[in-house]
């Protein structure tokens, strides 16, 4: 498989994992199945004896270790995703702040306070650039983390029932769509540029705050363990 | 023992293909994120390209994952980036396998 970054330790690790595979591909149910037949005690008739308790315990321990390994991987991936989202959050906040400011210009035009062909073209070009920038930020997240940008929620089945996560996701998305329109409203009523700048900064801060909350919830849901870390026999 | 953490009970079923440690971990990550890039999986597993590739091929042969290669800008001359997606069959098999592991741990 060709990939953009190759690991030079490939062959040595491949050899090591081959032996590991042979060791660990043995299914646990084989290990925990009855392993001896008692042909002496039953007059030569082969009957399965009870499974060796040590093998049962080993199987259970192996299974528990496998499940804990899955938890560790989720933790590592959650950290990777969190780093990418934090980087995206700062850039996105700037973009939405600028968008609120540009919307003020659109609002002025729609309110009939200002119109010129050059102004119209400039504003529309700025809007187009901001939308491209938002798209680029998402692509950069995907490039940096290796996680699909279309992953709307980690652990979908669990996330779908997590009220806090759903509220955080929806609030953030709604804020990103609605808040820049406050700039439009300000322009529509003929508000001045100082107010537009203040609104843009407030929009950026509000979206940043909501994004941080969303990231915290995203990371929490990403880390939900496959199996609780405590000993099930305790 | 059905897994009660989800909506519908999952019938525990031990899957020898998934049980190999690397493959189990790949499935665990894909179960959480659905679609991941090859190098994200490789780095998290801390294995070589060859090992990761070999296990992915095994999973793909069983229909548990799909591999898609996409040319990406800035990725170098002619290199393609591999994306790995979990299939519904793979997800079901993984969840049944995890339920089976939990059953073993619980001594069932």
What is the token pair recorded at A122?
A: 């400039």
Q: Which of A33-42, A61-70, A169-178, A193-202 shows the lowest per-residue confidence on average (mean pLDDT)?
A: A33-42
Segments forming the whole domain that contains residue B74: 16-105
**Contact across the interface for B38 and A77, Cβ inside 8 Å:** no
ipTM of the complex: 0.80
Q: According to the model, what pLDDT value does residue A224 have?
A: 86
Query: Could you tell me if A59 and A28 are in contact, meaning their C-beta atoms sit under 8 angstroms apart?
Result: yes
**Contact across the interface for A73 and B80, Cβ inside 8 Å:** no
* Chain B from 36 to 95: CB within 8 A of any A CB: 36-45, 47-54, 56-57, 67, 69, 72, 74-76, 79-83
Query: Of A55, A63, A64, A59, which is closest to residue A230 (Cα–Cα)?
Result: A64
pLDDT tens-digit series, residues B59-82: 999 999 999 988 766 555 667 889
Is A224 buried (19+), middle (13-18) or exposed (0-12) by CB count in 10 A? middle
Query: Could you tell me if A187 and A110 are in contact, meaning their C-beta atoms sit under 8 angstroms apart?
Result: yes
- Mean pLDDT, chain A, rounded, equals 78
How far is A13 from A22, CA to CA, in rounded Å? 14
How far is B44 from B25, CA to CA, in rounded Å? 9
**Contact across the interface for A3 and B81, Cβ inside 8 Å:** yes
In a domain, B42, yes or no: yes
How many C-beta neighbours within 10 Å does residue B18 have? 25
Domain count, chain B: 1
CA distances from A114 to A107, A108, A190, A199, B19 (A): 9, 6, 9, 20, 68
**Contact across the interface for A227 and B105, Cβ inside 8 Å:** yes
How many C-beta neighbours within 10 Å does residue A158 have? 15
Residue A145 has pLDDT above 60, yes or no: yes
Mean pLDDT, range A95-113, rounded to an integer: 93
In a domain, B96, yes or no: yes
In a domain, B2, yes or no: no
What is the token pair recorded at B7?
A: 């909506």
Sheet containing strand B65-71, strands side by side: B35-37, B80-86, B65-71
- Residue A72 Cα, gap to closest chain B Cα (Å): 10
In a domain, B5, yes or no: no
Query: Could you tell me if A95 and A133 are in contact, meaning their C-beta atoms sit under 8 angstroms apart?
Result: yes
Q: According to the model, what pLDDT value does residue A27 have?
A: 45
**Contact across the interface for A80 and B36, Cβ inside 8 Å:** no
Residue A37 has pLDDT above 50, yes or no: no
Task: Please state, for a pLDDT cut of 90, what percent of chain A lies above it.
Answer: 43
In a domain, B74, yes or no: yes
In a domain, B4, yes or no: no
- Residue A97 Cα, gap to closest chain B Cα (Å): 29
């Amino acid at each position: 498989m060709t990939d953009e970054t190759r690991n030079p330790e490939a062959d040595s690790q491949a050899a090591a994992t081959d032996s590991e595979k042979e060791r660990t591909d043995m299914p646990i149910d084989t290990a925990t199945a009855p392993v001896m037949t008692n042909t002496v005690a039953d007059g030569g008739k082969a009957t399965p004896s009870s499974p060796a308790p040590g093998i049962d315990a080993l199987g259970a321990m192996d299974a528990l270790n496998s499940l804990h390994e899955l938890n560790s991987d989720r933790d590592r991936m959650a950290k990777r995703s969190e780093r990418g989202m934090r980087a995206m959050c700062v850039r996105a906040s700037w973009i939405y702040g600028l968008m609120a400011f540009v919307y003020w210009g659109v609002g002025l035009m729609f309110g009939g306070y200002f119109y010129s062909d050059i102004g119209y073209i400039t504003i529309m070009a700025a809007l187009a650039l901001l939308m491209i920038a938002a798209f680029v930020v998402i692509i950069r997240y995907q490039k940096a983390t290796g996680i699909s940008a279309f992953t709307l929620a980690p652990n979908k089945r669990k996330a779908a029932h997590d009220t806090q996560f759903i509220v955080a996701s929806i609030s953030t998305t709604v804020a990103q769509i609605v808040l820049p329109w406050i700039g439009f409203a300000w322009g529509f009523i003929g508000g001045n540029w100082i107010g537009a700048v203040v609104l843009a900064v407030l929009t950026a801060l509000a979206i940043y705050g909501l994004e941080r909350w969303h990231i915290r919830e995203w990371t929490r849901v990403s880390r939900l363990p496959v199996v609780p870390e405590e000993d099930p026999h305790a | 023992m059905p897994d009660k953490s989800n909506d519908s009970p999952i019938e525990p079923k031990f899957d020898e293909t998934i049980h190999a440690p690397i493959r189990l971990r790949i499935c665990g990550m894909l179960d959480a994120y659905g679609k991941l890039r090859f190098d994200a999986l490789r780095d998290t597993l801390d294995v070589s390209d060859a090992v990761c590739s070999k296990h992915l091929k095994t999973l793909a042969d069983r229909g548990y994952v799909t591999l898609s290669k996409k040319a990406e800008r800035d990725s170098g001359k002619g290199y393609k980036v591999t994306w790995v997606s979990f299939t519904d069959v793979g997800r079901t098999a993984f969840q049944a396998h995890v339920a089976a592991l939990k059953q073993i741990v619980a001594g069932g």
